[in-house]
Amino acid sequence: GAVVSQHPSRVICKSGTSVKIECRSLDFQATTMFWYRQFPKQSLMLMATSNEGSKATYEQGVEKDKFLINHASLTLSTLTVTSAHPEDSSFYICSPLGAGFTDTQYFGPGTRLTVL
Partner 1 sequence: DAKTTQPPSMDCAEGRAANLPCNHSTISGNEYVYWYRQIHSQGPQYIIHGLKNNETNEMASLIITEDRKSSTLILPHATLRDTAVYYCIVRIYSGNTPLVFGKGTRLSVIA
Q: Which residues bind partner 1 (CB under 8 A)?
A: 1, 4, 6, 32, 34, 36, 43-46, 49, 51, 91, 93, 95, 97, 102-110, 112
- The answer to whether the beta carbons of residues 32 and 100 sit under 8 Å apart is no
Q: Which is nearer to partner 1, 8 or 16 (CB)?
A: 8
**Least CB distance to partner 1 at residue 53 (A):** 14
Q: What are phi and psi of 87, to 5 degrees?
A: -70, -10
**Least CB distance to partner 1 at residue 44 (A):** 4
- The answer to whether the beta carbons of residues 32 and 46 sit under 8 Å apart is no
